[in-house]
Amino acid sequence: MIVVTGAAGFIGSNLIARLNQDNFKDIVLVDDFSHPEKEKNLAGKTYSEKVHRDDFFAWLDKNHTFVQFIFHIGARTDTTEFDMAIFDALNIGYSKKVWEKSVVYGLPLVYASSAATYGMGELGYSDNHDLPFKLKPLNPYGVSKNEFDKWALQQEKQPYFWAGLKFFNVYGPNEYHKGRMASVIFHAYNQIQKTDKMKLFRSHHPYFKDGEQQRDFIFVDDLTNVLVFLMHHRKNNGLYNLGTGKARTFADLVKATFKAMEKPENIEFIDTPEDIRDKYQYYTCAEMDKLNGLGYHKPFTSLEEGVSIYVREFLDGHKYK
Q: Are 198 and 266 in contact (CB under 8 A)?
A: yes
- Choice among 141, 171, 189, 240 that is catalytic: 141
At 26 the three-state DSSP class reads coil
> Is 141 annotated as catalytic?
yes
Domains of the chain: 2-171+217-245+286-300 (3.40.50.720)
pTM of the model as a whole:
0.95
Query: What is the full per-residue pLDDT of the chain (321 aa) written as tens digits?
Result: 999 999 999 999 999 999 999 999 999 999 999 988 899 999 999 999 999 999 999 999 999 999 999 999 998 777 767 778 878 778 899 999 999 999 999 999 999 999 999 999 999 999 999 999 999 999 899 999 999 999 999 999 999 999 999 999 999 999 999 998 999 999 999 999 999 999 999 999 999 999 999 999 999 999 999 999 999 999 999 999 999 999 999 999 999 999 999 999 999 999 988 877 877 889 999 999 999 999 999 999 999 999 999 999 999 999 999
Non-local (6+) Cβ contacts of 107 within 8 A are 64, 67, 68, 69, 70, 101, 159
How many residues comprise the chain? 321
> Is 178 annotated as catalytic?
yes
Q: What is the chain's alpha carbon radius of gyration, rounded to the nearest angstrom? A: 19
- Choice among 40, 96, 178, 290 that is catalytic: 178
